[in-house]
Each structure stands twice: as structure tokens, then as C-alpha cells.
Amino acid sequence: MQTSGVNSVSIRCVVALLALISGAASASVVGVSSAADPGKEPARFIDCHVHFHDTKAGDLDKVDEWMKANNVHRCIIHPLAQSKPKNDAERKQMLENYAKYKGRIERFCMIFDTEATSEADAVKFLTQEKADGAIGFGEHYGAGLKFDDPLNMRLYAACEKVGLPVMFHMDTLRNLDDKGLPRLERVLKTYPRCVLIAHSDWWKHLDDGTCDRLLKAYPNLYADISCTTKRSKIGRDKTFAREFMIRNADKLLFGSDSGWWSFKKDAEPMPEFALVDELKLPKEVEAKILRENAMKLFPVAK
């Protein structure tokens, strides 16, 4: 009888160990870590498009709290003119901030088209930024320029050489293009190894089929889904939105365009967080858009 008791205990121990191994393996396959509270579901989103300050001590601690509150496992911060480091001391602090959250809070880098006097100049700047942890370029505004202006082309060429994806903004004042987006298409053809991530008014070209056509034709074009609900058919026609996302599931990234304004007490989460639930996407499509496509484009450095 004593031997039987030992066997029973041993079996229970083995079963418990196998359960632990199985749980760890499952988390690894999904590619997301558990939330800080073990009672919560695993974090759901990789947010590829946010704007937060990052040059002062403690800046990213606030971002980390925002991420926990919004079920964001990982996010990518895009600098704006008002949030870029203004001097060497701010840059040093910024790099220290990101080192603390490596693999959880990432950053893109940005220079204005007038800041680089040549392609070689831009390559030098971007090479250093990449060495210091930048995983992309943007948000690229091209203020007052056509999308394929020579000043912009210089930056795309440099990003292709260094290996940094470009997140671009587009509207009636920035990175200008025409119906059918021929200037964007020219860039996609000219720099096939430069990944471009579409945003903002790019989504206004859904109705005529331009977005579908370009996503299908060019392996180097992706789009983040921020700014869709208020600027495009995505927000007006949920049936169309669902079908579009299913068709282009391999080329879409979750982005909310949240920022320091999201820290206000009365701030509502950006509508893209709710959009994915409203569309009731197939689980495999949802996984690609919310996490997996981002993991392929931006693998976590080891």
C-alpha cells in the first residue's frame, strides 16, 4: 500500500509538471506574454502606431501603465516634432528609457526631409539610429511635398539601404498624391526592398479599389488600421470593413494612433480597439492583424 501511495504522488507530480510545460509552450506559440495580473487574459494587441513622450525619466513608465490598461502587449512609438529629443542629454535619457522596456516598448526614428543634405547623410543618420534600437522610420510627413518628391525619394532610398520600414502620413498638405496613388506606386516600384506602411488619408482611397489593388500588387506595402473609422468606408460600412480585412489579413497591422493625449482622465480609448470586436473577424484573421503581422515585420531582438 505504501508503494501505491508513492506511485500516486509521483503520477500527480508528473501531471502537474506536464501542465506547466504545456502552458508555457502555449504562451510561446501565441507570441504574447501574460498581463501583469495573472488573473487577466493574455495581452491582446501589438500597437504599431502610438505617439508618446520618451525623453524624460519616467516617460515610458506612464506608457507601460497605459499598455496594461488597454491590453497592449507591445507598442511602437513614432516621434513627432514636439516629442523628438532636442539635445544630447534628452537623447541619452531616451535611450535609457527604452533599454528598460526592451522588447515591450519600441521606437521608430524620424528626420525631416530638409535635415539630410544627401542620401549618404540620411544613411549615416539612420544607421546610427538603427544601431541605437530604432526599428523603423516615421511617422514620415513630407510636409508640402509630393509623395515622390526628390527630397522624399532620398529618404526612401536611405531607408531601403539601412533596412528600416517607413510609416507614412498622407493628406491634402503632406505627401501629396493623385487619384489612384500613382506617386506612391512609383515609390513602391523604385524601392522594392523598402517596406512602406500606409496610414491616414491613404484609407480614403478604399472606395475606388486603390487600396486593395496596391496591397495585392506590392509585397512591400502594408497598412495600419488607425485612422480608419473616421476617415474611410471602414467606419461607415462594417460589412465592407470585415470583408476588406479578411481579404488583406496578411498586410494589415493594428495601430491606434494613441498618444500623450490618451493619459487624460476623460480620454476614451481610440476607436480601433473596439473596431476589431465589432467586425467579429475569424480568429486567425484577428491574430494576424492584432499581433502576428507585426511580429514578422518587427521581430523582437534577442
How confident is the model over 162-213, as pLDDT tens digits? Answer: 999 999 999 999 999 999 999 999 999 999 999 999 999 999 999 999 999 9
What are 22-61's pLDDT values in tens digits? 443 333 333 333 333 434 556 799 999 999 999 999 999 9
Q: With contact defined as beta carbons under 8 Å apart, do 216 and 185 qualify?
A: no
Q: Span 2-19, mean pLDDT?
A: 42
Question: With bands split at pLDDT 50, 70 and 90, how would you rate the model's confidence at 232?
Answer: confident
Measured CA to CA in angstroms, residue 144 lies from 57, 101, 111, 147, 190 at distances of 35, 36, 15, 9, 22
Question: With bands split at pLDDT 50, 70 and 90, how would you rate the model's confidence at 302?
Answer: low
Residue 253 clears pLDDT 90, i.e. is over it: yes
- In sequence order, what E strands does the chain have? 45-51, 72-77, 105-107, 137-140, 166-168, 196-198, 221-224, 252-253, 258-259
d(CA 60, CA 96): 10
CATH of 45-297, one of 3.30.360.10, 3.10.150.10, 3.20.20.140, 3.40.50.920: 3.20.20.140
What pLDDT, on a 0 to 100 scale, did the predictor assign at position 274? Answer: 92
Q: Where are the domains of the chain?
A: 1-30, 45-297
| pLDDT above 90: percentage of residues in the chain | 77
Q: Span 149-162, mean pLDDT?
A: 97
What pLDDT, on a 0 to 100 scale, did the predictor assign at position 266? Answer: 84
Residue 116 clears pLDDT 50, i.e. is over it: yes
What are 79-100's pLDDT values in tens digits? 999 999 999 999 999 999 999 9
Question: With bands split at pLDDT 50, 70 and 90, how would you rate the model's confidence at 11?
Answer: very low
3 state SS for 222-249: EEECCCCCCCCHHHHCHHHHHHHHHHCH
d(CA 239, CA 264): 33
What pLDDT, on a 0 to 100 scale, did the predictor assign at position 18? Answer: 43
d(CA 140, CA 118): 17
Residue 10 clears pLDDT 90, i.e. is over it: no
Report the mean per-residue pLDDT for the chain.
Answer: 88
What pLDDT, on a 0 to 100 scale, did the predictor assign at position 43? Answer: 78
Question: With bands split at pLDDT 50, 70 and 90, how would you rate the model's confidence at 229?
Answer: confident
What pLDDT, on a 0 to 100 scale, did the predictor assign at position 269? Answer: 87
